[in-house]
Amino acid sequence: MKLLLDQGLPRSAAGRLRDAGVDALHAGDCGLGSASDKEILAAAEREGRAVVTLDADFHALLTLGGAAGPSVIRIRIEGLQADGLVHLVRTVLDRFGEDLAAGAMVSVTEGRIRVRHLPIGGRGDRTSARP
């Protein structure tokens, strides 16, 4: 799974994910440092990447647009440092990689991961009790 980390996430997390074998880029390192959410989604779609973000707007854009992709992982946990983010993202990829590859919105909170398949209204939701 290829990832594009949004601007609000630590840049160092992309490098640590790459060190762990995940193809990850940070928006700030690939010319998207001041891009809009729509531009980031379009870049992720072109490059076959899932977006990792703190921003709820990505889920809203996919839902309202009836889009089938790209997949988005929304982290809803405040104050995560790079190492915690990397661990969390790797957990999501291990558990829900197939869902993400097929098109999904993933929402991660303390103690829960929720998956909604794209387009919304499609194949249903999955929830995990522990991230």
pLDDT mean across residues, the chain: 91
Q: What pLDDT score does 131 carry?
A: 62
CB distance 2 to 47 below 8 Å: yes
The pTM (predicted TM-score) of the whole model is: 0.91
pLDDT tens figures, 12-25: 999 999 999 999 99
Mean per-residue pLDDT, 41-67: 93
Q: What pLDDT score does 66 carry?
A: 85
- Given the DSSP bridges, would you call strands 2-5 and 23-26 parallel, antiparallel or unpaired? parallel
Domain ranges of the chain: 2-128
CB distance 66 to 103 below 8 Å: no
Mean per-residue pLDDT, 48-53: 98
Q: What pLDDT score does 126 carry?
A: 57
Describe the crossing of helices 11-19 and 82-102 by its angle, rounded to 10 degrees.
Answer: 70
Q: Where are the beta strands (DSSP E) in 30-124?
A: 49-53, 72-75, 104-109, 112-117
Pick the range with the lowest mean pLDDT from 8-17, 40-49, 62-71: 62-71
Q: What pLDDT score does 127 carry?
A: 54
Does position 5 have pLDDT exceeding 80, yes or no? yes
Any residues with CB less than 8 A from the CB of 52 and at least 6 apart, and which?
Answer: 3, 4, 5, 6, 9, 72, 73, 75, 89
